[in-house]
Amino acid sequence: MDFFKNLISSALGTFIAIGLFFVFMFVFFAGSIALLEQEDFEVEIDEKTVLVLDTSKPIFDREPQDFSFFDALEIESAGFGLNTILPALEMASNDEKIIGISIKNMSAAGGTSNLIALRNGLKKFKESGKFIKAYSDGYTQSDYFLASIADSVFVHPEGLVDFRGLSAEVMYYKSAQEKSGITMEVIRQGKYKSAVEPYLFDKMSNENRIQIKTILNDVWSEMVDDISDSRGIDVKKLNVLADNLAGKNANSALKHSLVDGIVTQRKYDEKIKEIDEDVEFINLASYLNVPNSKKIKSSNRIAVVYAEGPIIYGEGSTEVIGSGKLVRTLKSIGKKDNIKAVVIRVNSPGGSAFASELIWEEIEELKKNKSVVVSMGNVAASGGYYISAGADEIVAMPTTITGSIGVLGTLPNFNKIATRWGVNAEQVMTNKQSMGYSPFEPVSNDFRNEVKSSIKQIYDTFLKRVSNGRGISKEEVHEIAQGRVWSGKKAKEIGLIDHLGGIDIALERASKLADIEDYKISVYPKYIEDLETIYEELFSGPFGKIKDKLPSEIEMIFDSEKSLLTKKEIIQARIPYTLNIR
């Protein structure tokens, strides 16, 4: 009887495995075919067409490159990239068949600097004489900032405009560490290097409060200036409206001119159709497949290299800057004669100091025969600034978070909780320093001094890189460094960047430095996902992304486990915190 049970269960398991395999292969090949068809698919549009901009998906620097069967089968899209949206808006402004834009399904996400870049693209479209209208069931602050560029802003009768100003919250864990027995051993260089502050204190330091307050004020100033310009409301009055929550309901928002009308979505659609009885609609995804009439015949190229995510020593991915992949990419670009200049789009909080140095070295080599301009996105701080410092010119948005020129070391320690639970780790060594660091023992003075020495050396190198790249003395760099974070606006005032603007300004500067007028853009790095990665996307389930949802200070505990394996990852050039502006 047991024999037959085992036989049946084995056969059943085999059939299930074969079935899952064929399902996977079907999805993979169907998705691949859909992607191939999408590449050759061209769309024709009618006269009097309105471009519908759905902002319910995040706005990235670069169109998502990872293979996704959801994208391929048109089930779900991860989001759009500025590298496709902005050219599409420029094309639409010159397209006689496009008469205007309708912004709908507001849920703007992607970072303040990216939203400003998108808003600027919409502003240029509006300057072509075409209309922009916006509708939402309810506006978050980011939604409203983007929608305020429209000629007319509409909200649902039961909706609101959440216009209240900016805030940031940082959690502190000193007491929690003492109670749990799990601590983070931290060593830092620079009085503003507050990435480790949550582990050392229960309250925010004055230095940290100053820099966060300064950044919030700079970002808010940029936002209200733009809203004031579009809505014709004085900046002082906008701040009063924010303090009094003037957008708390639709009627109040209309009364205080935050919106132009209160309608349902159905009524809004009817208003658009009233513009012309023959009006047609096209969404952005479809419009991206409309052939561009503007043809560039030049053989000249400007390479745009996207460096996005934390910096690691290794290969990386579309969401992580790996020194190995990026260095090889830069080497390859250096050998291509038709590439006359390079724009490196940096959107990174930093990471491995050693990996940052390797990337910096390769950029220096690239500069010997090509002009290099850095375009900073939402954040280009610490290691993100390290790899930017040597560029011929640096361009950043006014709201870019940058600077954070400082170094830190973090190590998780379980000595207290191990002692509490009766766990004892014994070590056997051949030499005095053989052990180095054990997470089950208190950090020895010898090891702490060893890490301090390395941090001091790397910080000194960091200062030299910035000093040489920006043409200011090392002493001056130290005064504006020490881990302090700056907005792009302040960074220009103190000499850390050259120009304010988006990637369009960076391309202008790169073409001027290379002395070329007409050029095509080549995008790097190239990513090819293997079957294992695709399989993981399909079947890993929701739990693989749990770490991404944690507060940055908790996430750092997970990341620091690498430091137990390699000394290259102990010392970090990393932004003090993830600034969640709400």
Q: Answer whether 383's CB lies under 8 Å from 402's CB.
A: no
Q: Answer whether 319's CB lies under 8 Å from 349's CB.
A: no
- The DSSP letter of residue 444 is P
Q: In what order do the strands lie in the sheet with 350-352?
A: 183-189, 407-413, 571-574, 350-352, 311-312, 320-322, 316-317
Q: Reduced to 3 states, what is the DSSP secondary structure of residue 36?
A: helix
The active-site residue, picked from 57, 104, 133, 193, is 193
Strand pairing class (499-500; 393-396): parallel
Q: Which string of DSSP letters, residue by residue, matches 384-406?
A: HHHTTTTSSEEEE-TT-EEE---
SS3 content of the chain, % helix, strand, coil (to 5): 45, 20, 35
Q: Reduced to 3 states, what is the DSSP secondary structure of residue 32?
A: helix
Task: Examine the residue annotation and report whether 382 is marked as an active-site residue of this protein.
Answer: yes
Q: Answer whether 305's CB lies under 8 Å from 524's CB.
A: yes
Q: Write the CA distances from 222 to 1, 166, 228, integer angstroms.
A: 77, 12, 10
Q: Answer whether 238's CB lies under 8 Å from 155's CB.
A: no
The active-site residue, picked from 68, 102, 352, 382, is 382
What gap in Å lies between CA 23 and CA 28, rounded to an integer?
Answer: 9
303 class by beta-carbon count within 10 Å (0-12 exposed, 13-18 middle, 19+ buried): buried
Q: Answer whether 256's CB lies under 8 Å from 150's CB.
A: no
What gap in Å lies between CA 56 and CA 277, rounded to an integer?
Answer: 28
Q: Answer whether 570's CB lies under 8 Å from 411's CB.
A: yes
Q: Write the CA distances from 296 to 299, 301, 517, 571, integer angstroms.
A: 9, 11, 11, 46
Strand pairing class (371-381; 393-396): parallel
Question: Angle at CA 572, nearest 5°, toward 168 and 540?
Answer: 75
Q: Reduced to 3 states, what is the DSSP secondary structure of residue 522?
A: strand
Which residue in 32, 2, 162 sits closest to 534, CA to CA? 32
Q: Which residues are catalytic?
A: 193, 382
